[in-house]
Amino acid sequence: MKILITGGNGFLGKNLIRELQKRAGTKIHILSRSRSEYPDLQYHQGDVRDIEDVSRTVYRVNPQRVFHLAADLRRVRDARLHRELMGTNVRGTLNMLTVVSETGIEAFVSAGSFEEYGDAPVPFAEDGPLRPASPYGASKAAASLLVATYGKSIIPATVVRFPVVYGEGQVNESFMFKVGKALTTGEVFLMSPGDQTREFLHVDDAVRAMVAAADNIVVCKGEIINICRGEELTLLEVERLIARETGKNGFIEFGATPHRPNEQMRYSGMNRKMRELLGFEPRVSLEEGVRKTFLGALRA
């Protein structure tokens, strides 16, 4: 089976590649702007914002399945950068959908985000309101609606929406990455009051869910599906859990900074569709995920 992954060099993409490599007979192709770290895979340099790059790659590969992960993840407040954000997340998604709709694609799976819900009522329901509080959330919401619309009548496409995805090897400005940095360097992480809630999903479960969505595309095409446990914790509670699992304390100073403008204060989802359509359950508890993510680095 030929598979094309956009954004395959990112955190989620690298872990998806490892999951797909477990399947015999899978030929993985990557469309990315940066050079691939996987010399044994087929790499195609290109930008999803450029429909010529997309067309050239899709027609060369002729994939049966596409996993669309390419995204601009910056939580930018600078209006001058919003065009770039929308270009990648919205136009890039539309370019992919437009081109693959002209092929015999079997499954198109796109990665969404709980930031699309913004300040909507918790727990987030896939058919509930979208009230994104940031340009990033708005761009991802637009992309997800495009994919779901195509999935209803044009191609077999679906969206899996993730809460905060974390795991080993993550390099970004996320809460878990900053916690890991504080644990290993001794540099205290200056944090807001910590009363905001989040839901976390280990990357192993995230990539398993994407594969499950492709495997079950007949029943989930046109759908948007939350992938989550439904566990809502304050960041203060998460800090205590990390301290308990690692034996480390004092790595976060809560209340040292204010909440961000338009902070998303609650963050948890419903998962009925995940269970009914995919027959899927996350395997990695937050306790186990914290150990997997941080203990190896602490021993190094």
State the pLDDT confidence band at 144, using cuts at 50, 70 and 90. Answer: very high
pLDDT exceeds cutoff 60 at 84: yes
Please tell me the least confidently modeled range out of 2-11, 108-117, 173-182, 201-210. 173-182
Torsion sign (Cα): 165, 226, 267, 73: positive
Instruction: Specify the pLDDT at position 183.
Output: 81
From 86, 185, 87, select the one nearest 138 (Cα to Cα): 86
**What residues contact residue 219 under an 8 Å CB cut-off, 6+ apart?**
277
From 245, 88, 242, 120, select the one nearest 175 (Cα to Cα): 242
Dist CA 235 CA 252 (whole Å): 10
CB atoms within 10 A of CB 247: 8
Instruction: Specify the pLDDT at position 176.
Output: 86
Amino acid identity of 74?
R
Mean pLDDT, residues 249-269: 88
Dist CA 72 CA 87 (whole Å): 9
Mean pLDDT, residues 78-96: 89
Dist CA 238 CA 267 (whole Å): 13
What domains can be seen in the chain, in order of their start residue?
2-165+203-229+268-283 (3.40.50.720)
Please tell me the least confidently modeled range out of 74-78, 125-129, 160-164, 179-183. 74-78
Dist CA 256 CA 189 (whole Å): 9
Instruction: Specify the pLDDT at position 36.
Output: 66
Average pLDDT, the chain: 93
Q: Per the confidence metrics, is the pTM higher than 0.85?
A: yes
pLDDT per residue as tens digits for the range 167-199:
998 876 788 888 888 887 888 889 999 999 999
Radius of gyration of the chain measured on its C-alpha atoms: 19
